[in-house]
Amino acid sequence: MITYVEAQPKSRRTPGVIPLHGAEGFEGMRKASALTAQALDILFDFVEPGVPTAKLDQIAYEFARDNGAVPATLFYKGYRHSICTSINHVVCHGIPDDRGLREGDIVNVDLTLILDGWYGDSSRMYPVGEISRKAERLIEVTYASLEAGLAAARPGNTTGDIGAAIQAVAEGERMSVVRDFVGHGVGRLFHDEPNILHFGTPGTGVPLKPGMIFTIEPMINLGKPHVKILSDGWTAVTRDRTLSAQCEHSIGITETGNEVFTVSPGSLFNPLEARKSR
Ligand code: MF3
Ligand code: CO
Ligand code: CO
């Protein structure tokens, strides 16, 4: 006998149901996410003034192809690229193109690789040459906000605790949290339940349970939090054109805390720290 629930296609998000994954899911996520992190590591040395973001897209595509993985964004809802490249005031979903990066730019590269059906989703900031002190501060605060979110991601807490921790860090530095895009459940789906808001009230939302797998991906602005979407239908920019930064990990909730699946093998996740040690 097969029950109604079991008969549902595995590839569909079920409203109100948060999947709890076991050892197999964690192992699948480890492998997919390690590959994503390795690809983002490889891009580190290519990000330089004059390099077009389309070149980064090509490198990511070829890396996926050579490693038996598929970029999740390729042909996703009409998107035609392997990565998103979000420069300066672009908040997220920037489209790779043939224009060269310029000295002083800050660019987020967001990559999701599908390996054996599991989705490893991560993004990082890359400084192009020398960047301004205010851009550096924005990146520092964005990474600190993700760290605060990770510290709150454990059983006994709720999704609202994660958002509140992120918001406190960003607003404590007089920066703002983007409301329009959220972290998400991930696993054998690109975007699953739960939604992870990067702002909120402690104790609200969904209680965190071992086996939940989701992303945390705060977008922090130097100015106001409001965004608009450009006419290409994808590119989200800050309405006030102030700088925006983002970083993203895929994690799994464990009995005692969480496991970060998208750890950088070369310790290159935080570009400012990575530069100091090179
Ligand atoms: N990887 C992004 C995320 O963090 C999603 C990119 S969707 C795209 O969820 F359509 F822009 F590609
Ligand atoms: Co992503
Ligand atoms: Co994501």
pLDDT in tens, 244-271: 999 999 999 999 999 999 999 999 999 9
**Tell me: the pLDDT tens digits for 78-115?**
999 999 999 999 999 999 999 999 999 999 999 999 99
Domain assignment present for residue 80? The answer is yes
CA separation (Å) from 177 to 62, 92, 202? 34, 13, 16
Average pLDDT over residues 128-143: 98
Whether 185 contacts 18, CB under 8 Å: yes
pLDDT at 198 over 90: yes
In terms of Cα–Cα distance, which of 168, 186, 43 is closest to 110? 43
Distance between Cα 94 and ligand 3 center (Å): 14
Average pLDDT over residues 32-53: 98
Average pLDDT over all residues of the chain = 96
Residue 192 pLDDT class (50, 70, 90 cuts): very high
Whether 84 contacts 244, CB under 8 Å: no
**pLDDT value of position 12:** 78
| Nearest listed ligand to the Cα of residue 186 | 3
Residues 6+ apart with CB under 8 A from 174: none
Whether 15 contacts 193, CB under 8 Å: yes
Domain assignment present for residue 70? The answer is yes
Domain assignment present for residue 63? The answer is yes
Among protein residues, the one whose CA lies closest to atom 7 of ligand 1: 73
Residue 276 pLDDT class (50, 70, 90 cuts): confident
41 is in an annotated binding site: no
pLDDT at 6 over 70: no
**pLDDT value of position 2:** 43
CA separation (Å) from 91 to 58, 67, 107? 22, 29, 10
> Rounded CA gap, 273 and 58, in Å?
26
Among protein residues, the one whose CA lies closest to atom 12 of ligand 1: 73
> Rounded CA gap, 174 and 176, in Å?
7
Whether 182 contacts 197, CB under 8 Å: yes
CATH number of the domain enclosing 124: 3.90.230.10
Ligand 1 site-directed mutation target among 36, 70, 110, most atoms within 8 Å of CB: 110
**pLDDT value of position 10:** 54
For 57, the domain range is 16-276
Distance between Cα 3 and ligand 3 center (Å): 31
DSSP annotation of 76 reads G
Query: Ligand 1 — pocket residues by CB below 6 A?
Result: 73, 76-77, 79, 84, 93, 110, 112, 121, 215, 217, 234, 248
pLDDT at 195 over 50: yes
Task: Determine the atom of ligand 1 nearest the C-alpha atom of 190.
Answer: 9
pLDDT above 70 coverage of the chain, percent: 96
Domain assignment present for residue 9? The answer is no
Domain assignment present for residue 6? The answer is no
Domain assignment present for residue 11? The answer is no
Task: Determine the atom of ligand 1 nearest the C-alpha atom of 111.
Answer: 1
| Structure tokens that stand for 60 in this block | 């990511």
Domain assignment present for residue 5? The answer is no
Domain assignment present for residue 8? The answer is no
How many domains, in total, are found in the chain?
Answer: 1
Task: Determine the atom of ligand 1 nearest the C-alpha atom of 112.
Answer: 1
Ligand 1 site-directed mutation target among 93, 189, 214, 248, most atoms within 8 Å of CB: 93
